[in-house]
Amino acid sequence: MRPLVFYRSTVGKKIVMAVTGLILIGFVIVHMLDVTLAFRGPDAVNALGRFLHGTADELLWVVRVILLAAVILHIDAAWQLTRIARAARPTGYAERRPQVSTLAARTMRWGGVLLLVFIVFHLLHLTTGTLHPSFQPGDVYANLVTGFRVWPVALFYIAAMVALGLHLYHGAWSSVRTLGLTRPAANPFHRPLAIVIAVAVAVGFALVPLAVLVGWLR
Amino acid sequence: MDLTLRVWRQPGPTVPGRFVDYPAQDISADASFLEMLDVVNERLSARGEEPIAFSHDCREGICGSCAMMIDGVAHGPVRGAATCQVHMRVFADGSTITVEPWRSAAFPVIKDLVTERSALDRIIQAGGFITAPTGGARDANEILVAKDAAEAAMDAAACIGCGACVAACPNGSASLFTAAKIAHLGALPQGQPERSRRVLRMVAQMDEERFGHCTLFGECQEACPKLISIDVIARMNRDFLRACTSPPASAW
């Protein structure tokens, strides 16, 4: 085992980003499936809320600790690598034409910053209720509906989900490659699974504030 | 063809540079990009001006010397070609062409378009070799090499070390170069004894030289005159992870 050699190297830091990224992808998929229970009515989503905060309370905290650790490691590695990359090209090009890199790949950093801002707001909005106009602990459905009736908040959520979709479009594909789990491919940019994950997660989440805005969920 | 060149001129490593416009008139459409520069340089010399310094050697796409950013693309607009294999017919008559050196902290500019690329040599020195006994050459088929291993090694060995991957990478990463050299030896039976040591040393040297990390933008593969696939980077990472997590090999 060479933990120091591993974390000091850029390859090791990227592997940390990939592993923590995959953990977070797993979380957003489960979370999206949970949240869309709102479309099956107040009882379904509130029952899940009661289960998570009652029966599974200890498990919930274990998951929260793992997610927090994953987020911290993900951001720390991203921060260090960004600094290394900036130092690697002190003088930029007068003219540069990207050939194949995707918008998703080129917005990983600022998109990630936007997602961090969103996560902080989201926790204060729908977990603690601090920034919620009429938060009722335990009534998940009512909190969603009253929370998203504030249209700037709903639009911010939808914009953040677009950023999440882009982040996943690159991240779900590149993390697996970074871990070296891929076989040689005729077209290494081909990413059917990443597209499905990115679209499903972004659309699934964004449907909830959208449905409140147009009055489907009330 | 009549063209305008917008070229980075920098008299020396520590002197600030700037772009200078040069007319390039009456250029043959069948001239290579380097031949076009030769013509411009002859005219500059005739006028008593300092010619544009650029690296070149084989002029047939195998030496990796001719390194320049042409209109924002490493080695110019032809896919899978080094600068010497780009012909002027691919440019529109009357266009202005911007020519810059590779930009990387690891590749300091020596003069004009010439950069110091020995950082790549030091990555090779760190582990891009096999420890083979010297003496008489062994029979070619004494060590059996599977066809797919030979193909994988050959594909990676196509790397000519030009540095276009670094130049094209938004992070200034040398991952494609380093990974190609690791895959080239690591795919062969002769490369197995030093496989762990090789990836650890070469990755450490790559970081030491202040290259950036790999985000898998894919720009390197597109810029590579040999079109080496980013698949080799996945392979390098897997080797690195394995070398970091397994106990060091020991004869005892």
Size of interface A-B (CB pairs under 8 A): 156
- Give residue B141's pLDDT: 83
SS3 B61: coil
Q: A164, A209 in Cβ contact below 8 A? A: no
CA A56 to chain CA centroid, nearest Å: 23
B223–chain A nearest CA distance, Å? 8
Q: Is residue B249 predicted with pLDDT exceeding 80?
A: no
Tokens of B199: 């990836």
Nearest CA in chain A to B208: A9
pLDDT tens digit sequence for A37-84? 999 999 999 999 999 999 899 999 999 999 999 999 999 999 999 999
CATH fold of B118-245: Fumarate Reductase Iron-sulfur Protein; Chain B, domain 2 (1.10.1060)
Yes or no: say if B171 and B213 are a contact pair by the CB < 8 Å rule. Answer: yes
Across the beta sheet with B3-9, the strand order is B18-24, B3-9, B96-100, B69-70, B73-74
pLDDT-derived band at A2, boundaries 50, 70, 90: confident
User: What are the residue ranges spanned by the domains of chain B?
Assistant: 3-111, 118-245
**B237 to A15: CB separation less than 8 angstroms, yes or no:** yes
pLDDT of residue B251 exceeding 80, the answer is no
Cβ <8 Å between A178 and B237: yes
Q: Is B168:B222 a contact under the CB 8 Å cutoff? A: yes
* Shortest Cα–Cα distance, B139 to chain A (Å): 31
Bridge pairing between strands B3-9 and B73-74:
unpaired
With CB atoms and an 8 Å threshold, state whether B71 touches A179: no
Mean pLDDT of chain B: 95
Q: Per-residue pLDDT tens for A185-196?
A: 999 999 999 999
Cβ B79 vs Cβ B67: under 8 Å = no
Domain ranges for chain A, please list them: 3-91+101-214
pLDDT value of position B252: 72
Residues 177-236 of B with CB under 8 A from A: 200, 203-204, 206-207, 210-219, 221-223, 229-231, 233-236
Whether residues B235 and A101 touch (CB distance < 8 A) is answered with: no
Contacts of B203 in chain A (CB under 8 A): 9-11
B74 dihedral zone (left: phi>0; alpha: psi -120 to 50; beta): beta
Q: Is B3-111 a CATH 3.10.20.30 domain? A: yes
Asked whether the beta carbons of residue A92 and residue B223 sit closer than 8 angstroms, the reply is no
Residue with structure tokens 């005159």?
B225
- pLDDT at residue B40 in the model: 98
Mean pLDDT of all residues in B21-35: 97
B241/A180 Cβ within 8 A: yes
User: Using one digit for the tens of pLDDT, what is the confidence trace for B137-169?
Assistant: 778 788 899 999 999 999 999 999 999 999 999
Model confidence band, residue B133 (pLDDT cutoffs 50, 70, 90):
confident
B146 touches chain A (CB under 8 A): no
Single-letter amino acid, residue A189: F
Secondary-structure breakdown of chain A: helix, strand, coil percentages, each rounded to the nearest 5? 75, 0, 25
Q: Which of B15, B148, B244, B246 to mutate to test the interface with A (most CBs of A within 10 A)?
A: B244
Q: Do B212 and A99 touch (CB under 8 A)?
A: no
Phi, psi of B6 (to 5 degrees): -110, 100
B173-196 burial code (b ≥16 CB/10 A, e <16): bbbbbbbbbbbbbbbbeebeebbb
Query: Among A8, A14, A185, whose Cβ lies nearest the Cβ of B214?
Result: A14
How many angstroms away from the CA of A148 is the closest CA of chain B?
35
Integer Cα distance of B31 and B25 in angstroms: 13
- Is the separation of the CB atoms in B243 and B196 below 8 Å? yes
Average pLDDT over residues B108-137: 93
Note whether B119 and B211 are within 8 A (CB).
Answer: yes
Residue A134 CA to residue B179 CA, distance in Å, equals 55
**Residue/partner pairs of A91-98 with CB below 8 Å, 24 or more apart:** A91/B103, A92/B103, A93/B69, A93/B72, A93/B100, A93/B103, A94/B8, A94/B19, A94/B98, A94/B100, A95/B69, A95/B71, A95/B72, A95/B98, A95/B100, A96/B69, A96/B72, A97/B71, A97/B72, A97/B73, A98/B170, A98/B217, A98/B219
Query: What single DSSP character describes residue B128?
Result: -
pLDDT digits (tens, 9 = 90+) for B190-226: 999 999 999 999 999 999 999 999 999 999 999 999 9
Q: Which of A9, A12, A182 sits opposite B234 (nearest CB)?
A: A182
Partners of B120 on chain A (C-beta within 8 Å) are none
**How close, in Å, is residue B248 to chain A by CA atoms?**
8
Whether residues B244 and A101 touch (CB distance < 8 A) is answered with: no
Q: What is the pLDDT of residue B134?
A: 75
The 10 Å Cβ neighbour count of residue A67 is: 17
Reported as a pLDDT band with limits 50, 70 and 90, residue A172 is very high
pLDDT the model gives residue B34: 98
What percentage of chain B reaches a pLDDT higher than 70?
100
Flag if B212 and A85 touch (Cβ within 8 Å): yes
CB contact under 8 A, A85 and B173: yes
DSSP labels for A43-75?
A: HHHHHHHHHHHTTTHHHHHHHHHHHHHHHHHHH
Tell me which architecture the domain covering A3-91+101-214 has in CATH: Up-down Bundle (1.20)
Give the model's pLDDT for residue B136.
82
Q: Do A96 and B71 touch (CB under 8 A)?
A: no
Among B170, B217, B241, beta carbon nearest to A15: B241
CB B34, CB B57: distance < 8 Å: no
Give the angle A5-A8-A9 at the CA atoms, nearest 5°.
85
